[in-house]
Each structure stands twice: as C-alpha cells, then as structure tokens.
Amino acid sequence: MSDLSVFPISRKWPAAHSERLQLYSLPTPNGVKVSIMLEETGLPYEPHTVSFETNDQMTPEFMSLNPNNKIPAIIDPDGPGGAPLALFESGAILIYLAEKTGRFMPQDAAERYQAIQWVMFQVGGIGPMFGQLGFFHKFAGKDYDDKRPRDRYAAETKRLLGVLEGHLAGRDWMVGKDYSIADIAIFPWVRNLVGFYAAGELVGFSEFPNVQRVLDAFVARPAVARGLEIPSRTPAA
C-alpha cells in the first residue's frame, strides 16, 4: 500500500484508500474536467472536497500540493516508475491521465497534437475569457455601472464560440469522430457559460448550433453526468 503521509496535504485530507488516485477538487468547470476523465477511464480514485467557502485552497496543506492555490490537483500513488506523482493544472492532468490509461488521446501522432492544441485553446482562451464574463455578468462585476468590461468579455466569448462553431461543422467531436480530452476540457466551460453563468442570451448562443449539438452529446454521456457532481460540495462520508 502506498504511503501518502509524506505529502502534507494528507494531514488535512487523509486518504481512506491510499492505493487510489487522490483528487482534490470542486465541481467547477476546471474541477470537473478531471473527475469526468476519471469517471470515463474507470481509474479508482478518492475525491476530496476543497471548499472555497472556507478558503481551503489557501491553506498550507493544499498549497503544498499546488502553490498556485487552484483546483484541481491530484496525487497518483502509482505514477511513472511506480512512484507517487503529485500534479496540478487541469490540462496537464488530462494529458497525464490520457497517457496513463491510453484512452481519450488519439493514437495517430498528428491527431494527438491536434487534441493537445484544443486543450491549450481551452486553457489559454475559453477558460479565462468565459470566467471573466461570468464575473462581470453574474458575480460582483455585474454591479459595476461601466459595462465596457462585461461587453469586452462577451465579445471575446462570442468570438471563441465562433471558432468552435466553424471547427465543429462536419465533425462529431473536437478531433473528428472520436471523443477526446479536448472535449473533456472544453465542454464543461460551455455548459457553465449557458447554465450557471446564464450568459447564453448575452453572447447569442443560439447562433452556434454545432456547439449546442456537441454540448448535448457531451452531457448525455453517463460518465460526464457522474463527473459533473464530483466531488460533492460537502465532505464525503
């Protein structure tokens, strides 16, 4: 059995099953990327809730795993060479899990890099821009009298949706016919945009039928439905 006590984070979130991959997360668009991937692959894992309400992400224990104090993060007790691996950044974790399991990453070299490029597109574009729009449309920024910041991010979000719309024309998923980590990275953010952020009308989401089509196919996957709720917002029993 793996000894995870060497990781300071285990003092705050003890592992009940130290042989399983440990997930430290919350059901946010970035957080559910990893829980969805874990549900899709069937890897045994143990989820731990990192509560923003109590600033868990700012505790020394969490920051010992991710000094950037962002979820999600993992410890894989069976990492490369059989040694435990601690990892943060959702895009990096998706790539790692795809390579570990041999799933949801194209085997063709060219398509593999295409999948990675779309993960980077989400990490560098969709996530930050959709997130800023959420701040100015739903959260504290909505009370600002000056609507130029909101409108700036709404325009950029609409442009990014247009990129997705054009790319998905004639494709089942982001990399052709096969579901991949590119879809797992992108579509939790699209779902959040039109659901939790309630920004569909603001960005004219009805103008992007291909994006809607693939979003519908994404959320219809049983593993996605499970992963969207993991970890729970209250500590697991």
Q: Return mean pLDDT, the chain.
A: 96
Same domain, 119 and 200: yes
Structural domain range at position 23: 9-103
Same domain, 114 and 136: yes
Number of domains observed in the structure of the chain:
2
The burial of 119, by beta-carbon neighbours within 10 Å (0-12 exposed, 13-18 middle, 19 or more buried), is given as buried
User: Does the bond joining 188 to the residue before it have cis omega, within 30 degrees of 0?
Assistant: no
pLDDT tens across 39-86, in order?
999 999 999 999 999 999 999 999 999 999 999 999 999 999 999 999
Going from the C-alpha of 115 to that of each of 24, 81, 98, 105, 112, the distances in angstroms are 25, 26, 11, 7, 5
- Angle, CA of 61, 65 and 66, to the nearest 5°: 110
Q: What is the pTM of this model?
A: 0.96
Same domain, 91 and 113: no
pLDDT of residue 233: 59
Which residues sit opposite 45 in a β-bridge?
A: 21
Are 61 and 38 found together in one domain? yes
Going through the chain in order, the beta strands assigned E by DSSP cover 21-25, 45-49, 73-76, 85-88
